[in-house]
């Protein structure tokens, strides 16, 4: 059994899937497997994957076609449940991994047993693989930082495609997955609350930005309310998990959960009732819940502009 397993989910990704597969093939780490779960693609995604595996004689790459469309969230969680390796890496269908991605991430995991989820930095690439945003505020000095429990770090600061996970930890947590919760948000928060979330300050991938992967952007007030209701359900669920798991540090986790609960409840009141008078109290009282001042400005804009 390979120590490392790449978990890729696909759905109608014919436009960019070859580039991603090719970047996996060019990794400078030899001993890993790739498990691909297609969620009912109606384009050429499956045939491209099959041909790539056959042409390169990749016996340790496996393609599974889902009988029914699960949606990307459950597809990733089920991929974790079906996994067997010591280390797991989430992989999207449209990015490009730089050749040292797997090697550097897994070596850090092997040397640090306390890490359950390790994230890396990335740069934005266009449809033509051109770097369009180097994320200048991201470090690229190969340092390793623990992400500590705080109001702002409750926000997911890196996408799931940059994660390397301890397999045993991931499979156990996947059993308690809250239906509808994005896989990256779920594992980010659970590892944060287990004092085992780390960031590797190295750009290891090109994260592709195009129209198809912007579908999760909030465009209406109704969509914002739905998103906030989901976040509030997650908070309540985390209270349940807290009673079953030994979150650390326990008192800090309790404080962050209570602060986030009040924060989301106030935002819900603003968006549901268009209660714009509460925007200023929201920003001042809960400024630590935002990632940066830019996100606070965006919040104010959304409160006024979303219909």
CA dist., res. 128 & res. 97, Å (int): 15
| Residue 169: pLDDT band with limits 50, 70, 90 | very high
The answer to whether residue 158 scores a pLDDT higher than 90 is: yes
* pLDDT of res. 210: 65
Q: Do residue 68 and residue 198 come from a single domain?
A: yes
> Any idea which of 104-118, 179-193, 242-256 has the lowest mean pLDDT?
242-256
CB 37 within 8 A of CB 72: no
Shared-domain flag, residues 228 and 150: no
* 157 shares its domain with 226: no
- The last residue of one of the domains, among 214, 231, 260, is 214
Q: What percent of the chain has pLDDT over 70?
A: 97
- The count of C-alpha atoms lying within 13 angstroms of the C-alpha of 54, restricted to the half-sphere facing its C-beta, is 6
Q: How many separate domains does the chain show?
A: 2
Antiparallel, parallel or unpaired: β 117-125 and 131-133: antiparallel
Residue with tokens 């990335």: 122
What's the pLDDT at 213? 56
**Cα separation of 130 and 232, whole Å?**
38
% of residues, the chain, pLDDT over 90:
85
Say yes or no: 133 and 274 in one domain: no
Looking at the fold, whether 155 and 285 belong to one and the same domain comes out as: no
Same domain, 38 and 91: yes
Q: CA-based angle 127:26:158, to the nearest 5?
A: 55
**Does 98 lie in the same domain as 54?**
yes
Average pLDDT estimate for 206-222: 75
pLDDT of residue 211: 62
Residue 115's pLDDT is 98
187/301 same-domain check: no
Tell me the mean pLDDT in the region 175-188. Answer: 96
Residue 214 pLDDT level (bands cut at 50, 70, 90): very low
Q: How do beta strands 87-91 and 4-10 pair?
A: parallel
Whether residue 273 is found in the same domain as residue 178: no
| Beta-bridge partner residues of 63 | 36
Does residue 32 carry a pLDDT above 90?
yes
Per-residue confidence (pLDDT) for residue 34, from 0 to 100: 98
Where is the domain boundary, 194, 214, 234?
A: 214
User: Do 107 and 172 fall within a single domain?
Assistant: yes
**Mean pLDDT in the chain?**
93
107-127 in b/e burial notation, b at 16+ Cβ within 10 A? Answer: ebbeeeeebbbbbbbbbebee
Structural domain boundaries, residue 296:
221-305
Q: How confident is the model at residue 242 (pLDDT cuts 50, 70, 90)?
A: confident
Name the pTM for this structure.
Answer: 0.94
Mean pLDDT confidence for 257-280: 94
- 55 shares a domain with 172: yes
The residue-averaged pLDDT of 285-291 equals 95
* CATH code of the domain covering residue 124: 3.90.550.10
Q: What does the pLDDT read at residue 215?
A: 45
Pull the structure tokens for residue 147: 């992400």
Last residue of a domain, one of 197, 214, 231: 214
Q: List, as one string, the DSSP characters of 9-58.
A: EESS-TTTHHHHHHHHHT-S--SEEEEEEE----SSHHHHHHHHHHHTT-
Per-residue confidence (pLDDT) for residue 216, from 0 to 100: 55
Residue range 5-33: mean pLDDT, rounded: 96
Dihedrals phi, psi of 27, to nearest 5 degrees: -65, 145
Whether 212 has a pLDDT exceeding 70, the answer reads no
Residue 123 in contact with residue 203, Cβ under 8 Å?
yes
86 and 202 part of one domain: yes
Local confidence band at 238 (pLDDT 50, 70, 90 cut-offs): very high
């Amino acid at each position: 059994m390979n120590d490392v397993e790449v978990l890729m989910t696909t759905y109608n990704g014919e436009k960019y899937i070859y580039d991603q597969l090719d970047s996996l093939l060019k990794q400078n780490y030899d001993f890993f497997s790739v498990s691909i779960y297609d969620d009912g693609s109606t384009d050429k995604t499956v045939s491209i994957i099959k041909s790539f595996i056959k042409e390169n004689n990749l016996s340790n790459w496996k393609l599974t076609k889902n009988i029914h469309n699960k949606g990307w969230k459950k597809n990733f969680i089920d991929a974790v449940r079906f996994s067997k390796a010591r280390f797991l890496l989430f992989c999207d269908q449209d990015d490009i991994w730089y050749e040292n991605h797997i090697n550097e991430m897994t070596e850090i995991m092997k040397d640090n047993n306390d890490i359950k989820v390790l994230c890396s930095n990335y740069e934005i690439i266009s449809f033509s693989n051109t770097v369009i945003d180097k994320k200048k505020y991201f470090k690229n000095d190969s340092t390793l930082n623990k992400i500590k429990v705080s109001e702002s770090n409750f926000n997911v600061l890196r996408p799931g495609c940059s994660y390397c996970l301890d397999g045993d930890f991931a499979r156990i947590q996947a059993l308690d997955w809250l239906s509808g919760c994005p896989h990256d948000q779920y594992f980010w928060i659970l590892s944060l609350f287990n004092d085992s979330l780390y960031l590797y300050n190295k750009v290891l991938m090109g994260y592709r930005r195009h129209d198809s992967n912007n579908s999760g952007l909030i465009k209406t007030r109704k969509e914002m309310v739905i998103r906030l209701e989901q976040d509030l359900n997650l908070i309540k669920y985390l209270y349940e998990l807290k009673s079953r798991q030994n979150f650390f540090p326990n008192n800090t986790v309790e404080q962050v959960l209570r602060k986030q609960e009040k924060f989301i409840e106030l935002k819900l009141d603003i968006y549901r009732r268009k209660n714009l008078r509460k925007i200023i109290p929201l920003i001042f009282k809960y400024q630590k819940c935002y990632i940066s001042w830019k996100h606070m400005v965006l919040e104010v804009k959304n409160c006024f502009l979303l219909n």
